[in-house]
Chain A
Amino acid sequence: MRTLSAEAAVAMIPDGATLMIGGFMAVGSPERVIDELVRQGKRNLTVIANDNATPGRGIGKLVDAGLVSRTIASHIGLNPETQRQMIAKKIEVDLVPQGTLIERIRAGGYGLGGVLTPTGVGTVVEEGKQRVEIKGKAYLIETALRADFALIHAFLADYLGNLSYALTARNFNPVMAMAADTTIVTADNIVPVGVISPDHVVTPAPLVDYLVTNG
């Protein structure tokens, strides 16, 4: 694990990158890295995330700035700007059931090719997918998702990169931290090793490539 500034972290991300961004309606999103993506004007991004938040918050800031060309999400209903850009064909939107989305990301991080889920069977979600039957029950094959970068926000990060999360700001973060080639973390508090007890570490340090310094 290396520490660096938000500016240096975002400088590593090229235009056209695929990003997994933690957060649920911007709760638990890495706002400082998002702000820096906007400042450096990284373009043509693919954003994999639960939702697109709202204009002016979290991932909504990337959409506002016109930096997102594709999003894979479970919900965009609270971001009218994403819907406007979708209708204008400026942003491609792949809608995925939330439980399927998190499992596809988990599969990507856990070395699985995908998962079998009953969710979506007999709906438009099934289109173009393979259906399999196991013990008489129908499932869809949903393939794994990976990203170039996972942008994660934690409550505590210790000097080694062990992470713990706060309340509902955990959401997609620990799952995404395993599913990208490079994992970049911001944290509310950077603390000495040992402050997070072993039982309370949610994301183990070896999963974290870069910790963005505070201040």
Chain B
Amino acid sequence: MKAVDAQSIIAKRIANELRNGMLVNLGIGIPTMVANFVPAGITVFFQSENGLIGTGPIPEEGMAHPTLTDAGGRPVTALPGACTFDSAMSFGLIRGGHVDVTVLGALQVDAHGLLANWMIPGKMVPGMGGAMDLVTGAKRVIVAMQHTAKGKPKIVNKCTLPLTSARPVDLVVSELAVIGFPDGRATLLERGPGVSVEQVLAGTEAKLSLPDQIPEMRL
């Protein structure tokens, strides 16, 4: 599967989790693509943690403004009804449980849903930014990631990389699988398009609970 196809599958499947009126925070990378697949008839509010609710698409050429940006500092637009606020309120929204869904990338997720997504000791120390607050405080945490990295499983027994939070994530969506954590145990809920249970298991280190019915994900 091409990387771009895998990313679209992941973003589309996650977009199906959105409900009307939700306040949603998207991380950079695949999570940002979720905004392209919001189902028809659904309106959600996208938050940028630099202080904006109502984040819209990238502006047309010549329409950008230097003080209207996303959390990566890139120009965005603001949709009708948008509002801006300082960083204390922005993280009050996040930590205080007012954000309904956050979608983030991952380096590793373990068998109980614990997430590592912010550093590789000795290699990559960018800083956690808002990730720790988002995972700790959002009502629902969804991980968007390719199932493996260079052929190595990212869903592992136990994270070897530093954790992002002691709070487990709620859902992991990859191009191969949708995995949830009912009762704190990684459970295969759905298969990717044309993907078999065996293919999912082959790319997963953590032991997955297998319900009787594991449908193919609907996109």
Contacts and interface: CB of A to CB of B under 8 A. Distances in A.
Interface of A: 24-28, 50-51, 53-54, 73-78, 83, 86, 93, 95, 97-100, 102-103, 106, 117-125, 138, 155, 165-175, 202
A4 to B, nearest CB: 25
9 contacts: A25-B72, A53-B73, A100-B132, A118-B137, A121-B165, A123-B164, A171-B51, A172-B86, A175-B87
Given A98-B91, A117-B95, A119-B137, A168 B67 contact: yes
A24 B164 contact: no
Given A24-B51, A100-B132, A121-B136, 4 more contacts: A24-B73, A99-B91, A123-B163, A174-B86
Interface string B139-179: 00000000000000000000000111111000000000000
B48 A119 contact: no
Nearest to B130: A98
Given A98-B91, A123-B165, A175-B86, A75 B51 contact: no
Given A75-B128, A100-B133, A167-B52, A50 B87 contact: yes
Nearest to B166: A122
Contact of B87 (A120, A138, A172): A172
Contact of A77 (B49, B85, B88, B126): B126
A73 B65 CA distance: 25
B125 A123 contact: no
B97 to A, nearest CB: 11
B88 A175 contact: yes
B208 interface: no
Nearest to A174: B86
B128 A97 contact: yes
A155 to B, nearest CB: 7
Contacts of A138: 166
Contacts, number: 144
B127 interface: yes
A92 to B, nearest CB: 13
Contact of B73 (A25, A102, A121, A174): A25
A107 to B, nearest CB: 10
B67 A103 contact: no
B69 interface: yes
Interface in B57-109: 65-69, 71-73, 78, 84-88, 90-91, 94-95
Q: Which of A50, A123, A175 neighbours the largest number of chain B CB atoms within 10 Å of its CB?
A: A123
Contacts of B41: none
Interface string B188-212: 0000000000000000000000000
Nearest to B163: A123
Nearest to A122: B166
Given A106-B88, A119-B95, A155-B67, A99 B48 contact: no
B87 A98 contact: yes
Interface in B40-58: 48-52
B21 interface: no
Contacts of B86: 102, 165, 170-175, 202
Contacts of B67: 27-28, 155, 166-169
Given A98-B130, A102-B88, A168 B137 contact: no
